[in-house]
């Protein structure tokens, strides 16, 4: 049975560098016969978590905030794997990605242990000389810590330097790594 891969684009640029990396991961996943759906987070109405803890109460019916995350919760649960793509903004992931990540706090209200065994790939683009001085490492570490804590399987991370939209395409090594990550995500 084909794996279901959900791609979450966390950039305001529809054709930005992180989106290009995610598309390359998608190509790799599709080459391994995965079914892929892409969600553009910037176009969704997703409010920040308000720390009401409604989602954590016994018998909870889910998050108290009624917005586009309600639809995303069901897609996240249904998918076998996720790809989260984000540019680095001010030394970390984009605001769109961070709001999404925060709202995943409510996911266990929709299904017991929704992260257990979930396969996740990360794609990031950053400006600057390297992933350390750009802040990319901060975001990568956040993903590692978050998904490790909730027992999801972080299959891999691909990242590269690119300031101008589309510039990442010229980095053949990173583009090949992204394609291979998609194949690996669909195969495991």
Using CB atoms within 10 A of its CB, is residue 154 exposed (0-12), middle (13-18) or buried (19+)? middle
CA angle 68, 72, 78 (to 5 degrees): 160
Asked if 103 and 49 count as a contact pair (C-beta separation under 8 A), the reply is yes
Low-confidence residues in the chain, pLDDT < 70: none
Asked if 81 and 118 count as a contact pair (C-beta separation under 8 A), the reply is yes
- pTM comes to 0.96
The full length of the chain comes to 188
Provide the pLDDT for residue 133. 83
Pairing of strands 119-126, 4-9: unpaired
Provide the pLDDT for residue 66. 97
Look up the CATH architecture of domain 4-187: 3-Layer(aba) Sandwich (3.40)
The mean pLDDT of the chain is 95
Is the dihedral angle over the CA atoms 78, 182, 83, 138 positive or is it negative? Answer: positive
The SS3 of residue 129 is: coil
The SS3 of residue 148 is: helix
CB atoms within 10 A of CB 22: 29
Provide the pLDDT for residue 188. 74
Domain ranges, ordered by start, for the chain: 4-187
Asked if 121 and 6 count as a contact pair (C-beta separation under 8 A), the reply is no
């Amino acid at each position: 049975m084909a794996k279901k891969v959900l791609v979450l684009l966390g950039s305001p640029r529809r054709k930005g560098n992180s989106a290009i990396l995610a598309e390359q991961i998608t190509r790799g996943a599709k080459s391994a016969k995965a079914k892929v759906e892409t969600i553009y987070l910037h176009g969704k109405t997703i409010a920040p978590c308000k720390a009401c803890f409604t989602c954590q109460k016994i018998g909870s019916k889910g998050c108290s905030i009624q917005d586009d995350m309600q639809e995303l919760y069901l897609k996240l649960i249904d998918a076998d794997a996720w790809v989260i793509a984000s540019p680095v903004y001010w030394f970390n992931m984009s605001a769109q990605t961070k709001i999404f990540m925060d709202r995943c706090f409510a996911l266990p209200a929709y299904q017991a242990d929704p992260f257990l065994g979930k396969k996740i790939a990360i794609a990031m683009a950053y400006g600057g000389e390297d992933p350390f001085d750009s802040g990319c490492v901060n975001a990568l570490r956040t993903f590692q810590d978050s998904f490790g804590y909730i027992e999801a399987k972080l299959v891999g991370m691909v990242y590269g330097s690119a300031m101008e939209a589309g510039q990442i395409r010229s980095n053949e090594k990173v583009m090949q790594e992204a394609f291979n990550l998609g194949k690996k995500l669909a195969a495991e």
